[in-house]
Amino acid sequence: MKDESCIFCQIINKSIPSNIVYEDELSLAFLDIFPVSKGHMIVIPKDHYQNIEDISDDILTHIMRIVKQLSILIRERLNVEGYNILQNNFPAAGQVINHCHFHIIPRNNDDAKFKMRIPRTQASEEYLKKVLDLLKI
């Protein structure tokens, strides 16, 4: 299944050029045209899924294997100290293209590209208990 209006589906169909790093029957990985750092790439399923909630467990497992393989490749070949794996769902979380995708962003200790800010105030036990009650399976 494809969505012809989706830019990632157009990349899969080769109607939009891209710099493909890896391709198999289920997935495609290409360099991001707005890279956060050298080697920043995107890994996508070839079938169109809006976000992680829509993708099958089998395809997701396959994609994550590719993400792992490419992350190791990036670290070794680009000689970076680490990498972020980023996956956004829905606009509130920063998803811009509605095709499930994973970013692999090469990082070095001193790059200052972006940092996750952990709150300095610890949550109360009461707060954590309320949240736990809502989420516990």
pLDDT tens digits along 56-112 = 999 999 999 999 999 999 999 999 999 999 999 999 999 999 999 999 999 999 998
Q: Residue 83: inside a domain, yes or no?
A: yes
Host H or E run for residue 57: helix 57-77
40, 48, 99, 101: the active-site residue: 101
pLDDT score, position 112: 83
Q: Residue 69: inside a domain, yes or no?
A: yes
Q: What is the DSSP letter of 20?
A: E
- pTM here is 0.91
Q: Residue 25: inside a domain, yes or no?
A: yes
Host H or E run for residue 87: none
Q: Which of 71-75's residues contact partners 24+ apart within 8 Å by CB, and which partners?
A: 71/104, 74/39, 74/41, 74/104, 74/106, 75/106
CATH code for the domain in which residue 60 is found: 3.30.428.10
Range of the domain at 124: 7-135
Q: Residue 1: inside a domain, yes or no?
A: no
Q: Residue 2: inside a domain, yes or no?
A: no
Catalytic residue check, 99 = no
